[in-house]
Amino acid sequence: MSRSLLVIGTVAFDNLETPFGKEDMVIGGAATYASLSAAYFKNDIRIVSVVGDDFPESFLNTFREKNINTEGLQIKQGEKSFFWAGKYHLDMNTRDTLDTQLNVLADFDPIVPESSRNCDFLLLGNLMPKLQRRVLEQMNQRPKLVVMDTMNFWMETAWDDLIDMIGKVDVLTINDEEARLLSKEYSLVKAAKKIMAMGPKYLIIKKGENGALLFHKNQVFYAPALPLEEVFDPTGAGDTFAGGFIGYLAKSNDISFDNMKRAIIYGATMASFTVEKFGTKRLLEVTEAEVEERLQDFVDLVQFDIILDSTI
């Protein structure tokens, strides 16, 4: 039943500082969070990315233990992995980038291994739009579903490439500010219409602690984020969400709107674990029982029954 899933994005080291603590050289990156999140659904997963020779062999083994094929993960001898350092503000929704070192990313040419060019599902994690296109072009046929994540940085520095890519994907995931930047509309409903007119049949607008909206034609679905007592480290939440979303779709091999609703709830559930600890720590140890319990929390959180009639 389950289908193969190709994930591209960064694999990186992060120095993280939040109001709750500080940790250096935490393994992160979009492809890391997304693939580990998707791996929960026991799909056949492959990643395409790049690291330097400073990347620990032990974490490559972690990928493999989770059935994530790393054939497409290039290891550049004598070079260093992509590095990002950031500090979160008290509200955890905003952060300052303290340092970015592209390193191996600077001249990254993503190569999709021959064995991965027929994948059914493709997640284009946040990366230069040109590199996202390079990957899509290497596929033997168009995947059943292409999901793309991006960020404001590419809107500011690679507008034309980005717009071109947006025209080629099925689902775009961005946050609310990015949706406004991309559409030049303040109302998210108007923004969604404009963005879907650029190509994607589905648009997911992420609103951090305020959940996410899924748009398709005239339909809208809203998934709240679970109100958590502690958000320890938001790094990777968006990537975990995207990975959980496409991972569930690949597992169920059903890309109907109703199934996308479920996929969003699964994505939000996976993300709710990621933010509980630094890096991928929590995601790596999450159990089925914990996921089921949190899904039930989602049901309890939003479920209500109103009998619609006109008796008032």
Measured from the CB atom, the residue of 197 and 289 that comes closer to its own copies is: 289
Measured from the CB atom, the residue of 47 and 213 that comes closer to its own copies is: 213
Task: Supply the DSSP string of 172-231, one letter for each residue.
Answer: EEEEHHHHHHHH--SSHHHHHHHHHHTS-SEEEEE-GGG-EEEEETTEEEEEPPP--S--
Burial of 101 (0-12, 13-18, 19+ CB in 10 A): middle
Total number of residues binding its own copies (CB under 8 A)?
48
What is the per-residue binding string for its own copies in 173-202, x denoting contact by CB under 8 A?
A: -------------xxxxx------------
SS3 category, 32: helix
Measured from the CB atom, the residue of 1 and 57 that comes closer to its own copies is: 1
Measured from the CB atom, the residue of 80 and 193 that comes closer to its own copies is: 193
Burial of 242 (0-12, 13-18, 19+ CB in 10 A): buried
Do 12 and 28 touch, CB atoms closer than 8 A?
Answer: yes
**Single residue of 222, 253, 284, 290 touching its own copies by CB under 8 A:** 222
Tell me the closest approach of the beta carbon of residue 97 to its own copies, in angstroms.
22
**Single residue of 64, 211, 275, 281 touching its own copies by CB under 8 A:** 211
**Single residue of 118, 210, 217, 256 touching its own copies by CB under 8 A:** 210
> For the chain, what is the total number of helices (H) and then of strands (E)?
11, 13
The binding site for its own copies (CB under 8 A) comprises: 40-42, 90-91, 186-190, 207, 210-211, 213, 219-224, 227-231, 251, 258, 261-262, 265-266, 288-289, 292, 295-296, 298-302, 304-306, 308-310, 312
